[in-house]
Chains A and B, each alone.
Chain A
Amino acid sequence: MNRVDNLVRMANQIAAFYQSMHDREEGLQGTFSHIRRSWPPGMRTALLDHIDHHGAEGLDPFVLEAITANRVEFTPRASATPRP
């Protein structure tokens, strides 16, 4: 499994938990927040690149919606030194 496929799988698994929340908005926020708070910038950038340039292939629409709604906060700020 390549790196992006693995990221997509992990994001989908996170969404699978939050999709069972009673309040859909809470689930979307939970999905975004969980990824934002636990993934380093490089992984978030790679997922955004997959969304922007590869049509978010394989990504659960719930994840896509969660990230799109919080795109600015999700996007890593430019780093002073190169990040992987």
Chain B
Amino acid sequence: MTPFNAIIRRDIRLAIAAGGDLLTLLLFFILVGALMPFAVGPDKALLARIAPGITWVAALLALLLALDRLFKTDAEDGSLRAFRNAAVSMETIVIAKLVAFWLSVMLPLLVAVPVHALLLGMNLETLARMMLALLAGSPGLLALGAIGAAVTVSLRRGGLIAPVLILPLAVPILIFGIGAVAPPPAPGADRAAMLFLTAISLVLVAIAPFAAGLALRMSED
């Protein structure tokens, strides 16, 4: 097995072994959605209108909660240090870890979106757009998150500071992510938003392995 696949396989095995964490995360994601009717009142029309925003924010918060695990456990048990002498570069390792993280955290969140649709009264078309937008935007969010997690990996309080660093940078993804779902204010705006979302996501995914790899190398001494 190639080193790349070995990392994906190990991280997915670890995620399955710690399956309770994933269930907790999904519960959190759904709870954020379920709390909204209590926060703004059970007005169905209003809820349906703000549902995409709620789902995006819930996904972002769930990601931030889960991100602490991305590099931290490897740093704590010395694996990260041993990665430096692996047969592949740190950048490759970061990409593999991101693929594994996306499959084991973001994909389950995506699957849970229909629960939000049900609770918040999204229609089928909105649900489909929502899932498509999350599919396009979540790699970008994860890429940003990975940079934040890598930069704070050597901090004991990193779990608190990483979200503060990531959230402002996530604004474009949120804007276009919602623009791609919400009813367009101008004709074609939703398609444009979807394209921008995909483009930003791709650029972030291209940058993240280098930025995170560099940060991880600099954190380990």
Q: Do the two chains bind?
A: no
